[in-house]
Amino acid sequence: MSDAPHPEPTAAPPHDFRSSSLLSPRQMRKLLAHETQFLNAMEARVALFLRSEFPLKLAGIEIISYQKLTAGWAAPTHLILFKTEPLRGVSVLEIPLQLALTIVDRLMGGPGRIEPTTRETSEIERALLDQIVQIILEEWCNNWAVVKPLKPTVLGCESSGRFMQTAPPQTNMLTLAIDARLGDCTGQIKLAFAYSEPASDTPAPAPLAPVKWNRCMDDVSMTMTAEWQGLELSARDVLHLKVGDVLQVSPQQARQVCLRLGENSKFSGRLGTMAGHWAVELTQTMKI
């Protein structure tokens, strides 16, 4: 029997099960085939619109956390927030800045070439890109029309995801990575959708009885205000604030906005944007 010391057992590497694929191999194969059809339709339509070749290739499909998704965004970039009714949640389309500006150059009659830059897109450039964005979203929804009719609605766009919070950090996001090329410019377009588990067999609660409305109240105006807690500054700090300063708001507090009707707290919701304006999505009715 050997007296040599036994090697210490190797520790198992940590594994984050939240990033594991939630799709079976069979489901993944069907999804790959389905999204390939979407790419073919999108490639043909965008190429016709730009009057230039626009080859696309599906680089991958994965389910990752919202936190990991945002960590992969460049700054600046071109992010489009949208909803696909009747699906729930806010989805995100990312077009890399260099590819976005190359598309703009082509739309304005140029050859589709742009020098490397780190500037943000202008309002006119975003308006031009909206045409391509609409084509991409329409083709994606059209590809699912046989399964479920979907209607895309653009909520707004951002140049950085640093302070953007459209979902809790651990929300599963179904992400499509698409390699695209226009002229000599290449980039990876990403589509990300909130992914939820199939609904359980638990029966839905019985609908509430409809409220009888008094038509005399139709034209009565009421003041609605939105507020949240969590940001505290000293009087000295307030005196030193100036244009351009950034005040960081906790994402948790931004998801706990209280909406008041007059003096009464009526709803709670989460902060966001719609069509370039601040908005609050109602999430719960509060008891008065």
For residue 251, cis peptide bond before it (omega within 30 degrees of 0): no
Return the pLDDT at 21.
Answer: 54
Return the pLDDT at 19.
Answer: 42
pLDDT for residue 140 is more than 70:
yes
The dihedrals phi and psi of 235, each to the nearest 5 degrees, come to: -60, -35
* 0.85 exceeded by pTM: no
Per-residue pLDDT averaged across 103-110, rounded? Answer: 91
Per-residue pLDDT averaged across 145-153, rounded? Answer: 90
What number of CA atoms fall less than 13 Å from residue 31's CA on the CB side?
A: 15
The dihedrals phi and psi of 200, each to the nearest 5 degrees, come to: -80, 175
Residue 43 and residue 55 in contact, taking contact as beta carbons nearer than 8 Å: yes
Judge: domain 19-194, CATH 3.40.1550.10: yes
Instruction: Read off the pLDDT of residues 29-83 as tens digits, 9 standing for 90 and up.
Output: 888 999 999 999 999 999 999 999 999 999 999 989 888 998 888 888 999 999 9
Q: How far apart are alpha carbons 190 and 135 in whole angstroms?
A: 15
Residue 262 and residue 279 in contact, taking contact as beta carbons nearer than 8 Å: no
- What does pLDDT average to over the chain? 82
Q: How far apart are alpha carbons 32 and 29 in whole angstroms?
A: 5
Return the pLDDT at 8.
Answer: 52
Q: How far apart are alpha carbons 49 and 93 in whole angstroms?
A: 19
Three-state secondary-structure class, residue 246: coil
Instruction: Read off the pLDDT of residues 225-268 as tens digits, 9 standing for 90 and up.
Output: 888 777 777 888 888 888 877 777 666 666 788 888 877 788 88
Q: What single letter denotes the amino acid at residue 169?
A: P
Return the pLDDT at 56.
Answer: 95
Output helix, strand, coil percentages for the chain, rounded to the nearest 5: 25, 30, 45
The dihedrals phi and psi of 194, each to the nearest 5 degrees, come to: -65, 125
Return the pLDDT at 134.
Answer: 95
Instruction: Read off the pLDDT of residues 173-213 as tens digits, 9 standing for 90 and up.
Output: 999 999 999 999 999 999 999 886 554 455 656 676 777 77
